Structure 1
C-alpha cells in the first residue's frame, strides 16, 4: 500500500515537473532512493550539502527566499532546523515543493507563494536564506538593496546569501539609471565589488564572513556569505575576497 502511494506521488510529481519545464527547475530533483526525476541545473543534492556545509541550522527557524522546489529548505530541515518556510513567487514551484515534501516525508517544512520583494511577509525567523537568488539582473536592476533590506527585516540572528563577490561591469546588463552613482564607492578597475557593497548596505548591525568560495565538484557556484548579529569581526576584517 505504501509503495503504491509512493509511486502515485512520484508520477504526479514527474508530470508536474514536466509541465513546469527545465527553465523553472533550478537544481536536480531526486526521489527518495536518489533517482533523478528532473535534471535541473548544477550539482546534485549531496554536492549542495558541501556547498553550505559551514551553515549551522540546528534548532533554528529558517525562511528560504526564492525557494524554488525547496532544495535548500529540505537541506536545512535535514540538518536540524526546527521549522522551515520556503517563499517563492512561482506558484507551480511552490506546489512542486509541497509535493516533494510529501514524497520525502519532510515534516516541519512548508512553502507559500509570496512576492517578498514587493510585499515582504510580516514574519521573523532565526535565519534567512537568499541562495541562488542574487544574480546579474538583481544587481543591474537595482534590486540588490531590496533583497538586503528584506533579509535584514526578516532575520533575527543570521543571514545566508550566495552571490558573486565581484562583477566586471562589462559582464553586467546595462545598469538602471542612478545605479552607477549608488554603487560608486564599490566600483574600481571596471569591477563592482558586490559582496563589499552588501556588507556596507547591511550596516554595522550585521557582520559577516565568506564560508565558501563557490567551487563544488567541478561546478563554479556563487560565494556563500553568512552575516550574523553576534560575531566579533566584520566580513572585510576576515579578509573577504573581492
Structure 2
C-alpha cells in the first residue's frame, strides 16, 4: 500500500476518533501535524527516552493510545514493540500509523492489561501517564503497578506524579482514600503515590528517578525506571 493511501486512511481514522481520544500530537512522516494531542507533553518520555537503552529489546506499552511512545521505542532500537489499549478504534488507527511510519516491529492489540495478555512477557514494560487521579480514586494504583511488573522481565518505565493533595488534586472526602490504600501513605492531607509505588514493588525491583534534578520542582509527573533485582 502506498504512502498516500496510508495517509488518507490515518486521516480518516483520526477524524473518526475526534480530539478527545488523541493524547499525543500525531504527525505525518514529513512532520506535518495530522492531529493535535490533548495530553500534557511533559508527562511523556523525553525524546532521548530518558537515556534508557532499547536496543534489541522487546517492549510493551500499557495504555498506549495511538502509539506515540511505541514508535519512539522502535526508533531507539527496540526489536519488538507491542502497544495495548482498551479502545479498538484507537488500536486500529495506531496500526495504520505503524504502517505509515514503516515500523513493522510495532504491533497493537486491543486488551485490558489488568486481565492479562496471555502470560506474555517483555524485556521492558512502559506505563506512561496512566496512573493518575482516576486510577487512584478507583483504588487501582497497585493493580496497575502489579500488571506492569508481571509483563516485564528486566525493566519498567513509569511516569507518575509523586504526591497528590487530597483536597486540591483528588477532591475526595475525609477517610475515603484510607479505605483503598495503607494509611502510612496518606498523611498531611496528601497521598504519596511514588512512595506507595516504591513500597509496593520493593521486594523485586529497585527504582531510579530519571527526571533530571533541575526539572523535579516543576515537572507534573516524574519518569521512574524500575529494574528487576
Q: TM-score, normalised by structure 1?
A: 0.84
- The Cα shift of 1:70 comes to 0.4
Change beyond 3 A, Cα 1:128–1:175: farther
Distance in 2 (CA, whole Å) between partners of 1:121 and 1:176 is: 40
Change beyond 3 A, Cα 1:176–1:38: farther
SS at match of 2:51: coil
1:67 aligns to what? 64
1:52 aligns to what? 49
8 A contact 2:47–2:72 mirrored in 1? no
Q: Deviations over 1:48-75 (max 9, x none)?
A: 5437332221121101100110001110
1:134 aligns to what? 131
RMSD: 2.5
2:89 aligns to what? 92
1:81 aligns to what? 78
SS at match of 1:117: helix
Count residues in correspondence. 224
Match of residue 25, structure 2, among 28, 31, 34: 28
8 A contact 1:215–1:221 mirrored in 2? no
SS at match of 1:204: coil
Q: Deviations over 1:178-226 (max 9, x none)?
A: 741523111221111100100101122101011016998xx95421110
Mark the runs of 5 or more structure 1 residues left unpaired by the alignment: 231-242
Change beyond 3 A, Cα 1:140–1:173: farther
Distance in 2 (CA, whole Å) between partners of 1:100 and 1:16 is: 10
Change beyond 3 A, Cα 1:19–1:108: same
- The Cα shift of 1:43 comes to 6.6
Distance in 1 (CA, whole Å) between partners of 2:18 and 2:48 is: 25
Change beyond 3 A, Cα 1:8–1:177: farther
Q: Deviations over 1:105-130 (max 9, x none)?
A: 00211000001123454101111000
Change beyond 3 A, Cα 1:221–1:158: same
SS at match of 1:157: strand
SS at match of 1:67: coil
1:204 aligns to what? 203
Q: TM-score, normalised by structure 2?
A: 0.89
